[in-house]
Each structure stands twice: as structure tokens, then as C-alpha cells.
Structure 1
Amino acid sequence: MQGVMLTRLPRCLARHSRRFATAPALKDDRPRTIFSGIQPTGILHLGNYLGALSNWVKLQNEARPSDDIIFSIVGWHAITLPQDPKQLSAARKDMLATLLAFGIDPKKAVVFFQEDNQCHTELSWILSCITPVQRLRRMTTWKSKIVDKRNANDESEIDESMLHAGLLTYPILQAADILAYKATHVPVGEDQTQHLELTRELADSFNRKFSPKRRCFPIPTQLTTPCRRVLSLKDPSSKMSKSSPLVSSRILLTDTTSDILSKFKGAVTDSVQGISYDPANRPGASNLLSIYAACTGEEAETVAARYANKGHAELKVDVADVVENMLKGPRAEFERLRNDHGYLAEVAKEGAEKAQERSRKTLQEVRTLVGFC
């Protein structure tokens, strides 16, 4: 495909970089199609990077030539909860710039905006016609999404009067995102496993109903990858979250050097002397050790041993330092890319064309099977 010369990406992240089956990353010799998506709902934080984005980069860089790696910025999922249109427009571009700055390479992976490929919504409608409503009502994540958006205390404060059809049915769209490319493997976090289970069920239902002799869809496998659970700096009993009203609870990937140091200095720890890695009894200190270890490629216990006779203040400063060293290169690249509107538009255009080329083949087969051709 003809296109612009894609900018060389930074190398500074190289070292950082139940009913359904799971698989270790890329040990099977068969070609794989790996799909994952991310919502454009604000600047990513450190937990997003260590928990997901760094694994995307690793999957991309370790993929074989026969593998197909596809990453989507999923705008249709974002609007299942209210979004300011101007903010969403800016967030879409910022998310693309973030992915590129932190190591996603358009030469190695297809990266595109979900809403630029109508195959997703067509397949979603077809799948919705074989999805029982009660199956969707058993999905619990719609409540947790409203809890996060409203900063509610827990799910007991949420009822179905707050539920729109898009939020109820978005797991079907998520299944369509995956199945449109006949993805064989999907890297997912703990909070998305039930969605992948639904995807597997819908793929199986479609195959049995419309293509029992030669299945149309592969049954996608959960791809297990190393995942660091990064906790809130202000409440280490919960995950770091961009929806928290406390800005100081999270490290944004675009935070300045002084922001990072200030937030870590204010991180909640405990009054116990010395440093030890004990997530159950010392979650605050253990969170700092985990972050340090994730940034340096060490084990948290190894870092803890080095700080055994030191204080929390010294650990906080040192954690801020290793995080800053990891983020400073990509942060500068992000600032450059977010202002290069022409380049971002070209990457998005090329990615959409590649995604459409792949998914149209699937949709043509699906249309034939259901009787539209």
C-alpha cells in the first residue's frame, strides 16, 4: 500500500516492553490474528501502560511475519456513556498519538479508529439477532461502568433506569470487533474475561446455526500476558483509575517531572519502619515496590530487599525517578506527534484501509451464510 514514510518510533521502551481457554504468548507455530481495543476516554495513566499498552508493544515486537496484529481505538464503545463531542474528538487524536509515542508501530500492527470501519456495526447487528437479552442482563460490567462515570460508592446505587441500550448491548459490539477479523487470540484484563466468554459463545452459536460443517469463526482464545496491577496512590485498596476525582491518585503518561515527584511524595504508605513487600498488609509500600520493579524489570521482592533498612521518603523519590526515566522519551514524542495532525490523519487512514480490507472478507462470508447474497 502506498503511503507516507512513517516516523521512526522511540526505542526507549524496549526493556519495558474459566470456560474458555488461555494461552501463553506466541508459542504456537500456527499464524495468529491478535486483536485488542482501547477507548479514547482521556490520557492513559501508568496502570494502563504497565497493565496493557506495554504488553501490546511486546506482542507486536515479538510477532512472527505470519501473525496479524490489530489494535483499535474504539470510539463507539466510548459513547455508551455521555461524552462531550469536542473532548472526544481531541481524545481520539491524543489516544492515537499516545499509542504511537509509546511504541505501537503502524509498520508492524494495524492501528485504526473503530468508527472508521462500518463492518463492526453490521456484524454487531447480525450477532445481536442471535443473542438472548437475558444473557446481556447477566453481564455485570455495565453497572461498574456507570459507577466509575458517576463516581458512585458501589453498584447498589445503580439501577436499570440509568441503563441505555448501547451500554447493555456493547458486549455484542465488542464481540463483533473481535470476530470481524476472525481473531484467534485476544489479550484481555481481568475485567474483560466475561466479555471474551460472550464472544466465544456468539462465535459458537453462529457457527452451529449457519456454518456447522465449516465454521465461519474461530473460537478466540484469551492471550495471557504478564500484567502489573497498579494501585491508586491515594487508596491502595483499589486500582489506579482515570475516573477517580483525585488527580493525585494516578500518574498520567503525560505528567511532568515535577508532577510525578509530587504525586509519589504524597502517596499513601504506612507507619511501619523499613520497607518490605507485603501486598496484603502493606499495600501502599508494596504498590510503590511493584511500580519500581515494573519500570526496571526486577522482581518486587528484590527491590524490597534493597530498601529494607531505608524509609518511605527515599523509596518515593527513587520510584519517581525510575518512572520519569521510563516516561520522559515517549512523553516528548507524544507532544510532538499530537501536533502533527497530517501524520496522525495518514496513520489513521492507512490503518482504516487495512482493517476494512480484512473485515470485508469476513462480512462477505457472513452475508452469504445468513442469506444476504
Structure 2
Amino acid sequence: MEEGEFVIIWLNGAFGAGKSTAARELLDLLPGSTLYDPGLVGAGLRLMLTKERLAEVDDCQDLPAWRRLVVDTAAALLGEIPGPLIAPMTLLRQEYRDEIFGGLAARGIPVQHFLLHVEETFLRERIDARTGSDGEAVRSWCLARLPEYTAALPWLTADACTVETTRLTPRQTAERLAAVAETGDATCEIVQTPAPRAQTLAAGVLLFDDRDRVLLVDPTYKPGWEFPGGVVEAGEPPARAAVREVAEELGLDLEQEPALLIVDWEPPRPPRVGGLRLLFDGGRLERERLAQVLLPGDELRGWRFAREDEAAGMLSPGRFARLQWALRAREQGRALNLEAGGPVG
């Protein structure tokens, strides 16, 4: 890795796994590197937000402002100082990983994602050994979060480069991290989608199985599930864009241009710029066609069919409202005009 390289080395792992200690050792091994602590962003928000707002969340990571500021601060730092940035921060919710890493990718900032894993018995010993005036509070906090870390291990080990640190000193851990960082093997393959600067036109497609469940996809670059589809390119007919997106995202060729179900105007709500959102009826997929589904790994990690009630817990409120009205439009055999997720008039 060259000095001043525009990259973030994200050290993930359980609370108490030694991420900050390893990060400080890593600074000596990567010329030009800088410690970037996203926890300081949370500390700033705790000083500025009202007690009422803070009482609504269990952790600063649950604040959309924290996730946005982590991305914006990293980008700003890399505009002022040489890289790479070393960020020791536990990140256990996959949707938060998608939002943050996707936001960084949109700014052209690659992320090398490492998981520092410690066997639970040794991890508990490390946590119990913490001393200091706040030692008991820290111990209780770390131990209380262990089940969440264990539950997150399946996606963490699939997404990050795992470094087993149970029997390593902090220096040995940093040496292993530096060796892999030099190769770039821990870089997350994630689609780069620059943030739009003006209102956009997007076309999505609803595809159904023989039980009338709708197909949803899981993007790597933003939180939550989504409909197959994307932004309509300049000069491109929206229905044709919908066909193109299905082919690019699922590897499926629609036999004909799909029928329009809804047009929804999404008002701008910073940081979202809003725009027109169209949903089309892609029809029913036969079983033999499902075997042809091929996802782009840097953009989508999975797909599944979901009932309407299941989709409520998978989609954002705005997307779910669109789905509900699109299903009604499909039943009625006519397109509906919406604004902000509700019918006009």
C-alpha cells in the first residue's frame, strides 16, 4: 500500500476485541496512515442532540445522522490529510454496514474490511481484565453486546477478512493486518453509485412467483431490501430501462416491456433529492426461470420472494407504501398516480 492511498481500513469485531490497540500499532506499519475514530462522531452528536432524541435510540449508531456523518467526515479528512484512514469501530448491523460502505463507495473511497475475532472464552477474560474508573461500566457494556456479535458472525465472516487474534499480541495483529492491506485482498467489492445532485427518475419491476409473492433484492450498497430496478438513463424510455435493469441485476430477459402500475413523486428530504419512482408489472416467473437468476456480486447479495406482510419488515416505509399501491393497481388493472406514497386526489 502506497503512502497517501485513498482508502479506509475498517477494523471490526466484538467490543473489547482490541481494535483500538491494534489500530495504534498499525499506524506505525502503514506510512501516512491516520487514526479515524467514528466514535468521536457519536460523542459530538451526544453533545449536540436533545436528551429526548437520544432517549429514542439505544446507540448512536442508530442515528441516521451518525451514519451520514461517518461517511462525510471520512471524505473530508481524506481531502485534508494523506491516507489511508484506520477506523476501529464495531459494526454489527449489516444494514448499517451497507449504508456506510455504500456511501463511501459512492464517493470513490474503497474500504478494506477486517474482522478481528477472538475466541469467546479469551474475549471474556480480556473484558473482565479491564480496569480504570469506568471499568465496571465498560465490562458490563461489552459483555451485554456479546450475543449481538455472535448473531452477526455469519454475515461478518462472509463480508470481512477475518484475522484470528486470540493468541496474537497487538503488534502481531497489526503485522498481519498490514500484510493483507498491502495486497488489497480485504477490499469490499461494492458497486459505486455516486449520489445524485438533482431529482431522479427510477424504474422498478415487480416479479411474482406462483403464490403471488413479490421478488425483492438485497443491495450491498444501501440498507434494506429493494425492487429490481434503477435510475433511468438520459434519453431512455422508462419501461425499457426497467427491462434493462432486470437483465443486469437478475440475468433475466423479460419477453415484453412491462405494464406500468404506479407513478410516485418522492419529495426531496435531505439528504435524498427525491424524484419520480415508477413500478412496472413484470409478471410471473416460472420455476425453471428462477434457476437462471444470476446476481452481480458487487451490487446484490441475495434475493427472495416475500408476501406483502413480510415485505413490510424488509422495505423502507416509502417503498412499502409503493408496493401496497402497486398491488392494488395490479388487482384493478389500472395504473395509479401517487405523491409521497399516497394516491393523488
Provide the TM-score with structure 2 as the length reference: 0.26
Determine which structure has greater relative contact order: mean sequence separation of CA pairs < 8 Å that are 6+ residues apart, divided by chain length: 1
Q: Which has the higher strand share?
A: 2
Structure number with greater Rg is: 2
